[in-house]
Amino acid sequence: MHNLFNLSGQVALVTGANTGLGQAIAIALAQAGADIVAAGRSAPTDTETAVRANGRRFHAVQADLGQHAQLAGVVEQAVGAMGRLDILVNNAGIIHRADAVDVTEEDWDAVVDTNLKSMFFLSQAAARHMLANGGGKIINVASLLSFQGGIRVPAYAASKSGVAGLTHALANEWAARGINVNAIAPGYFATNNTAALRQDAVREPQILARIPAGRWGQPSDLNGAAVFLASAASDYVHGVVLPVDGGWLAR
C-alpha cells in the first residue's frame, strides 16, 4: 500500500511555492519522495531548505506567472534542470478585493491572467512533455469559489470557476493519454491571501462559525490530498475537484 503513495524518482513543478499552500504542497511531495522545482516571482528560500532537509533535489525558476511569454520557459527550465517532469501543481494565484462596481480592467486582468490563463498555458506546456514521455499528473488549486460566488472578489470567483471548468475539460482530453488532471479546492486557510479576512472583526467570526471543523485550515491540511492526486493511488481519478474545506460545503 505504501508504494501507491511513493513518489521516489519523480519530479514535481510547483508554482507559488515560496509560502502558504504552495510551500506546504511542495514539502509534502518531497516527503513522499519527489524532487521539486519551484516557480514564482519570489525566492523560495525556506521551501528549498525544507525540501533539501528531506533529501530531495531542488531547483528554483524565477518567473512572473501572469506573463504568458514566460510560461513555456518554466517547463523547459524544469526539465533541463531535473531531466524530466512528472507532476505539475498549478498553485500560484492572487486575489483582489473590491466592490464589483469598483473593479478596474487592470485588476481584473491581473487576477484572471495569474489564476486562470497561466494555469492553462503552463498545463499545455507540461502536457506536451508528459504526452511524449508516458504521462503525468496535473493538480490545479481551485477554491470554494469554484462552487460559490464569494463576496467582493468577482475576478477571483470567475477565475476559480474557470479552474474547475478547465480541470474537467483537460481531463476529458488527456485521461486516455496517460495524464491525470484533477484539482484541490481549499476552504478558508490561514495564508497571506486571507490575512484581511482573518483581521476583519465582522467577517472572521462569521466564517469560523460556518466551518464544521471549527477552525481555519492550515497549509499542511492539504498534504494528504496533494500526495494522493500526485501518486499512483489516484491513477483512475480524473477531472475531480476535491474540496478540502473543514466541511464548509456540507453545511
Residues identified as active-site: 156
What H or E segment, with its residue span, contains residue 39?
A: strand 35-40
Q: Which of 79, 28, 82 is nearest to 218 (CA)?
A: 28
CB 208 within 8 A of CB 149: no
For the chain, the 3-state helix, strand and coil shares in percent, each to the nearest 5, are: 50, 15, 30
Instruction: Phi first, then psi: give them for residue 20, nearest 5 degrees.
Output: 60, -135
Number of DSSP helices (H) and strands (E) in the chain, helices first: 9, 7
Helix axes 71-82, 118-131, angle to 10 degrees: 40
Set of cell numbers at residue 220: 499542511
Any alpha helices (H) in 183-246, and if so which ranges? 195-198, 203-210, 223-230
